[in-house]
Chains A and B, each alone.
Chain A
């Protein structure tokens, strides 16, 4: 309003003003004031307008699209979209901050799950006075310091830490009782809020403190923006929890180790055998899922041809799906299948297979960038050339590097190279910045298959899979067969020494002098020069490594795990 008037009074001049003019002027103002009075009325009516002044303030800034609307739009889509898992949960529910957990909790949850076969176990978050009585019980197992910390905390902390326990102890009927108590204790307006709280599965907001805060706020205003208020509370809580979880250096877990169990580790082969006996569950549903995805094959081909690239995400191995895609659609075109999960994969090998096998080029390149340029030029020159790249696990250890991604992205941006890839890692999309994303020109497809990652994890030195080391073992035997008997003896000496010392935590390796001495005694070498020559050969095969000790002496050791070494020794002895 003021602005309008300012515009009118742009020209500044001084003159005598008569009564009527003043009058008009004032009356005009009055009209303005009247309007102003009206405006707030209007504002109260709708939420949207309440929000408006906030972002209208930053006039020069980028104008903000009503984010509420945006969210609404997405929300409305949920009903329409059948196959979008992403729409079901709000972001804050997914990976919130870590909070302190009871060490025994997992076992408890497990027994709980076990106790109620074919039944759901829920641990909904109802506020309950009885929790308080449970606390001493639950913290019995803790170290004293932990107990103190627990006591110092908010009640909310208790709720979260004892959630499972509580569930076990409290009968469901009890639940509803306390719940009604809770709502009765609040004013009418709070009831609505309480309901909202219940719906929200998020942890530990029900602290009495928050409630108290809520009550302070006057009812109508609170009604208008409950979610906002809650969010603020949540975030502050979460922040505290985060620091809580990360502050204590001590982690409370039990000290049991796998060695005490008989069945500790299995090797890859037995693992496979065992798993083959497991009958897959839900095969009908899985088949249905897969059929749905297979119907997309034609669309994928179309979109690939139109310049998009396709990335598949979602739980479960997508390897079989891509294999089927390959088998049905790509039989008549040149394509490369790239196993990203293969530990030896590199961009270099991908580029090499393009230049050598696809383009039949025999020359070599100075570096990868040259090679890439060459490929790009080749594909630009010859537009009839077409190449499909299928990459399983684009986000694997070996390919996730910035440089590799850059190069693959540049390849994929070519018009006649079509890329279809799968990603599995939780944080895979972080690999790409805007530039790479626009080079890739992705279309995302969710393909949750639930099929096991058999192939993908088979290479990995998984946690519990005994490193049978069949690969290093065979290479060891290969190398040792090509050695002279003396050299074999030298190597065996080193192995034995290393195995003897395997329980010694401060073992660095065998010093060269000691080694020489031992070899001499065993009549294996006659001078340290011959020993050095032998060692060089070992080093070339990466059978030994040297390390400088603190005293400057060179220590030799074999960078292969002891299990493999002892197996190797056994085999050797068998043979001889």
Chain B
């Protein structure tokens, strides 16, 4: 093979220059793998359009979410900088001048999302405060020298003066970077801009000397010494080099004091900023991407469950969640030919007209569609199964109703969430995604949780009920489509009734308190009237007006839920817009290589479907691949394994398996071959990390895993 050599590990292959120009478009890969590919080009395009929309939507959303944080940070930067401006002589300012203003930015453990935050933060600062923003990472700065070098070179890049760029490059190469050279450079630059261009560019920031903002992205991983040295040095130069630090912190603000001794941390003037928790972030993402009709693409319950579990149990990373979303989108469009209909309604209707015969067959094969057909009258059934045109028309109307279904679904879901999210103990989950999962999975009204939630709802106080109803009202009104207009009206009515009840009750209260309020009582009377009341209850207590009304509201909500929150499986053609293959997602995102190895070694039949290999759990036939046998044998040993014993055991097993064709070769040679096979198996196990050579005893290997079979 061309790619193996004893002297080289890298092999570069460059095709001829002419050939290289013909690059295969990505769409080619989308369809070629499959034999029957319907509208693959269109599907791929749709995928790209939707994905781009989703991506930009998330980015926009993240910016919005970060806006508050950035605003307060920028305010802090401007405020802390004002000290440099005034040059005032009063004592407080003097003290403050010695301290480096520092913002500790608590970002949470989802380190992977930080990059995006920092990127937009840099932009925001550059637009509003100062052009000199430098981002440093721990891995670039193993010592103070590299630290300063990086700082210096990045500062140079920030300063965009075309004429002086060349010169600066030279400086950068020549000068040994020190704080002195930094501050002299800073003086140079600020003066130059003052003289040369009297604030043409930066009218927004009216500073004579804009501060230098240094962002340490991962404060925890910096070595203490580098940080300490840098802080001490720069605090000495603070009067000529206005520095502001921003620490990116993933854990907790205590880390600052753990990393820096008091002598150093007293040089900092720290203010803490907290970013939005990733949990809320996730809620917004789901809210904006999934619980909306803006995107036609939907996830099934299992897929959503897997994605959220990866988020909650593994990394808290929004980025990964979105990656999972992207993958499911891709898989959906790749594997489902009818996903071509997964686009906005008018476009989908247009596309239906151009569907090929094959695609029509595909529609007919959909389980949900078949269920639908079975429910129709026989004539219509025949028409649906034979007449393409009729099928297409029907599909159009079905798609439309699917769209309506979704619109209503999300509205009612939100309303229900308003009701259940405030219940004690959250029988249906605190987050809307939990509720959504339950609703996707089954008929929610069949569940115990729903019943208990309704029971709790029947005990709501009036003001709570009213606020919830008001929220529901606004939710229903927020949608532009008028599908649930009547519902909104109904809620309005209920609200009005509750309001009027209030007035009535007040009157009653007023009269009641006059008649009964001052009535004196003793224990005996109290007991007596209590007993009376009890009797009354037993015979059937008359409900108050409020209770009647409350019952009405709850029943109303219940009816809404039963009408609109049907699981998507009940809808014909749902396959076109729901991604259901949860296992592929799990396989590709959250794989378990150790388990795969284990299965392959323990149960080869799982992969090699040969009847000879079939076995009960926990044992292995002796004709199994060599490595499986060697593995099985090694499981019987404790920490050290004697190679001789192992090899003999192996030979016994293998010879037994080979008995049939034993006569063909001499026994000597056969032994040699078996030994060679053993050697191969052992070295493979070593490569896989199950054993390693040890020097504790001659001809022994050490086991690296625990446990037996």
Contact = CB atoms under 8 A, between A and B. Distances in A.
A425 B688 contact: yes
Interface string A82-102: 011111110100111111110
A465 B279 CA distance: 55
Given A84-B583, A95-B594, A315-B596, A117 B659 contact: yes
B330 interface: yes
Interface stretch (A207-215, A434-442, A485-493): A434-442
B424 interface: yes
Contact of B608 (A286, A344, A424, A444): A286
Contact of A450 (B5, B327, B581, B600): B600
Given A95-B706, A107-B645, A298-B29, A117 B622 contact: yes
B635 to A, nearest CB: 9
Nearest to B150: A369
A313 B9 contact: no
A35 interface: yes
Interface stretch (B18-26, B199-207, B347-355, B404-412): B18-26
- Top 4 nearest A-B pairs (CB, nearest first) are A298-B33, A110-B649, A444-B591, A114-B656
Contacts of A260: 644
A56 B426 contact: yes
B593 interface: yes
Interface string B1-37: 1011111111111110001101110100110110000
Nearest to B657: A117
Contacts of A35: 455, 459
A471 B708 CA distance: 39
B215 to A, nearest CB: 17
Nearest to B14: A334
B182 to A, nearest CB: 21
A45 B608 contact: no
A106 B323 CA distance: 47
Nearest to A433: B111
Contact of B627 (A20, A111, A315): A315
A98 to B, nearest CB: 4
A331 B242 CA distance: 56
A404 to B, nearest CB: 13
A332 B24 contact: yes
Given A38-B455, A95-B705, A315-B688, 8 more contacts: A7-B464, A97-B706, A256-B645, A426-B688, A426-B705, A446-B591, A446-B593, A462-B686
A453 B684 contact: yes
Contact of B431 (A63, A448, A460): A63
A323 B312 CA distance: 38
Given A62-B279, A298-B29, A315-B627, A49 B683 contact: no
B563 interface: no
Contacts of A4: 424, 459-461
Contact of A45 (B424, B448, B643, B686): B448
A19 B680 contact: no
Interface string B425-457: 111011100100000000000001101100100
A305 B334 CA distance: 14
Nearest to B3: A337
B505 to A, nearest CB: 13
Contact of B424 (A1, A18, A427): A1
B680 A457 contact: yes
Interface stretch (A246-254, A545-553, A560-568): A246-254
5 contacts: A56-B426, A62-B279, A253-B637, A301-B29, A460-B686
A86 B591 contact: yes
Interface in A156-194: 160, 164
Given A39-B452, A65-B308, A450-B600, A353 B644 contact: no
A424 B699 CA distance: 25
B645 A53 contact: no
B232 interface: no
Given A302-B334, A337-B13, A448-B596, A242 B516 contact: no
A362 interface: no
B593 A423 contact: yes
A428 B516 CA distance: 80
B448 A46 contact: yes
Interface in B65-120: 111-112
Interface string A440-466: 010111101010110111011011110
Nearest to A79: B583
Given A49-B452, A109-B633, A251 B593 contact: no
A264 B6 CA distance: 26
Contacts of B705: 95, 98, 426
Contacts of B30: 298, 302
A423 B597 CA distance: 11
Contacts of A164: 636
Given A89-B599, A463-B693, A438 B319 contact: yes
A23 interface: yes
Given A81-B583, A278-B677, A426-B690, A435 B518 contact: no
Which of A18, A201, A266, A358 has most chain B Cβ within 10 Å?
A18
B116 to A, nearest CB: 11
Which of B6, B448, B619 has most chain A Cβ within 10 Å?
B619
A120 B621 contact: yes
B598 interface: yes
A257 B683 contact: no
Interface in B341-397: none
A308 B598 CA distance: 27
A203 B709 CA distance: 9
A313 B646 CA distance: 27
A84 B618 contact: no
B697 interface: yes
A443 B588 contact: yes
A536 interface: no
Nearest to A111: B652
Contacts of A338: 9-11
A80 B587 CA distance: 12
B679 A257 contact: no
B525 interface: yes
Contacts of B615: 120, 122
Contact of B684 (A65, A121, A429, A457): A457
B334 to A, nearest CB: 7
A459 B526 CA distance: 96
B561 interface: no
Nearest to B6: A471
B174 interface: no
B452 to A, nearest CB: 6
A67 B8 CA distance: 49
A332 B22 contact: yes
B445 to A, nearest CB: 15
Given A114-B653, A313-B596, A435-B111, A19 B519 contact: yes
A275 interface: yes
A74 interface: yes
A295 interface: yes
Interface in B614-673: 614-623, 625, 627, 629, 632-634, 636-646, 648-650, 652-653, 655-657, 659, 671-673
Given A278-B677, A463-B693, A123 B618 contact: yes
Interface in B518-541: 518-519, 521, 525-526, 529-530, 533, 537
Contacts of B584: 81
Given A35-B459, A49-B452, A123-B619, A258 B19 contact: no
A254 B644 contact: yes
Contacts of A357: 12, 14
B480 interface: no
B687 A457 contact: yes
A88 B603 contact: yes
A429 B593 contact: yes
A98 B706 contact: yes
A501 interface: no
A77 interface: yes
B196 interface: no
A406 B680 CA distance: 32
